[in-house]
Amino acid sequence: MKQKFTVVCDRKALTDAFMAVAGVVPSRTAKEILKNVKLQVSGGVVTLIGTDGEVGMRCAVPDVTADNDGEALLPTGRVVQVLREIKGESVELELDGAAFWIRSGLSEFRLSAEDPAEFPLVAGFGDDVCYVMQASDLRRMIRRTVFACDADSTRYALGGVMLKLSPERSTFAATDSRRMAVVLGGCRAEGSVTPASPAPVVPAKAMALIERILGEGNTEARIAVHANDITVQCGGVTITSQLVQGRFPDYRKVVPAQFKSTIDLVVGPFHSAVRQAQIVTSEESRGVDFTFTNGILRLSSQVADVGQSKIELPISYAGEKLTITFDPRYIADFLKVLDPGTLVHFQLIDHESAAVLQTDDGYTYVVMPLSKDR
């Protein structure tokens, strides 16, 4: 039976929703149908759906009028181009059999619409039992951990972020075996939840997509953990992702229990010094020496055929002189997710042991030094 419907909606609202869903659509895949976005009209509600086979997204388009229910499969790239170029305030979408029309202002486009029957199912959020977090907190926790994943790794679940959720609090952790990020946050439960064991590990791609859709203010995000997947819902957007297989390392064993020195540093000037020191490094020689001496932190690097650098930062330190070599990228990754005025506690043992950087709001970052021959 030939499908036919007409939808009218706000151009910006449609564009924002379509761009969000397009973020999950794969550019390369053996399954050509996954290169499309499914438009679903049901009961006057318009939902855009996309998936790469492992991560799926459903996004409701607000403030629409529709004359009928139906579904259409839209070519993602073409529709993105159209939405970027049209200028009218509203958009009319019309499906008539295999023809899909987009009209706005004086512009009109006719695109071929594929059969949506073979498009994979992307479930919505239907869980009564779930965890609830402030969206702003969830975004902060993702931002502070996802960069430490090793997206190309298949061992020890290093390709994702571990989510340890309980009715009292949440713990997120990520590592690539050279550094580890752990952050604590708030959490509450709706219904009688049973904390997952082992804690689920969510792919880095899914976590990055979740971060993008989260709002500010008092918006809440709901998280439902299942045996093989996780679903996150915030506002009109739902993301479902398969979980990474494998057990995450025991992050508690990675953080040293005692330190010889603790130096307090403000993020802004510290980050500036690290960025400057990073200029004189290369693919072959990435190391920067961090020398802690009486009242001074000196960052120095030297690369043959490139040059050398020396940046000094006043600090409160009166201990023995200590030089420890780090890849500056790993230090900068930690600093750039923090506000410039944040105070960081830089905790050290010796030049061979892991260093720990901590903030006062429950953020811990462990980074391994480089060997001196680097």
Tell me if 115 sits within 8 A of 95, measured CB to CB.
Answer: no
Instruction: Specify the CATH number for the domain of residue 35.
Output: 3.10.150.10
Does this model's pTM top 0.75? My answer is yes
Based on the fold, state whether residues 277 and 324 are members of the same structural domain: yes
Residue 372 located in a structural domain: no
Least confident of 79-88, 150-159, 300-309: 150-159
CB atoms under 10 Å from CB of 122, counted, come to 20
**pLDDT of 217 higher than 80:** no
Based on the fold, state whether residues 261 and 246 are members of the same structural domain: no
Residue 185 located in a structural domain: yes
Based on the fold, state whether residues 247 and 261 are members of the same structural domain: no
Residue 124 located in a structural domain: no
Cα(231)–Cα(241) distance, rounded to whole angstroms?
7
Based on the fold, state whether residues 191 and 178 are members of the same structural domain: yes
Residue 125 located in a structural domain: no
Query: Confidence band (pLDDT; 50, 70, 90) for 318?
Result: confident
**Average pLDDT, integer, range 1-10:** 87
Cis, peptide link before residue 314, omega less than 30° from 0: no
For residue 118, the Cα-to-chain-centroid distance in whole angstroms is 29
Based on the fold, state whether residues 109 and 134 are members of the same structural domain: no
Longest dimension (CA), the chain: 81
The number of domains in the chain is 3
Query: Confidence band (pLDDT; 50, 70, 90) for 195?
Result: confident
Write down the pLDDT at residue 374: 47
Write down the pLDDT at residue 154: 61
More confident residue, 168 or 343: 343
Write down the pLDDT at residue 127: 83
**pLDDT 10s digits, 326-347:** 999 999 999 999 999 999 999 9
**Average pLDDT, integer, range 184-212:** 92
Based on the fold, state whether residues 139 and 241 are members of the same structural domain: yes
First-to-final CA distance of the chain: 67
**pLDDT of 218 higher than 90:** no
Residue 373 located in a structural domain: no
- φ, ψ at 327 (rounded to 5°): -75, 115
Query: Confidence band (pLDDT; 50, 70, 90) for 155?
Result: low
- Supply the range of the domain harboring residue 339: 256-367
Cα(148)–Cα(159) distance, rounded to whole angstroms?
9
**pLDDT of 147 higher than 90:** yes
Based on the fold, state whether residues 193 and 224 are members of the same structural domain: yes
Based on the fold, state whether residues 246 and 267 are members of the same structural domain: no
**Average pLDDT, integer, range 154-164:** 84
- φ, ψ at 271 (rounded to 5°): -65, -40
Q: What percent of the chain is predicted at pLDDT more than 70?
A: 97
**Average pLDDT, integer, range 250-257:** 88
Q: Indicate the average pLDDT of the chain.
A: 92
Tell me if 146 sits within 8 A of 133, measured CB to CB.
Answer: no
**pLDDT of 373 higher than 80:** no
Query: In DSSP terms, which residues pair with 108 in a beta bridge?
Result: 103
Helix, coil or strand: residue 139: helix
Single residue among 218, 233, 252 that ends a domain in this structure: 252
- φ, ψ at 30 (rounded to 5°): -75, -20
Single residue among 202, 230, 252 that ends a domain in this structure: 252
**pLDDT 10s digits, 102-132:** 999 999 999 988 889 899 999 899 888 999 9
Q: E strands along 179-275, which residues?
A: 179-186, 188-190, 201-203, 220-225, 229-234, 237-242, 261-266
**Average pLDDT, integer, range 284-299:** 92
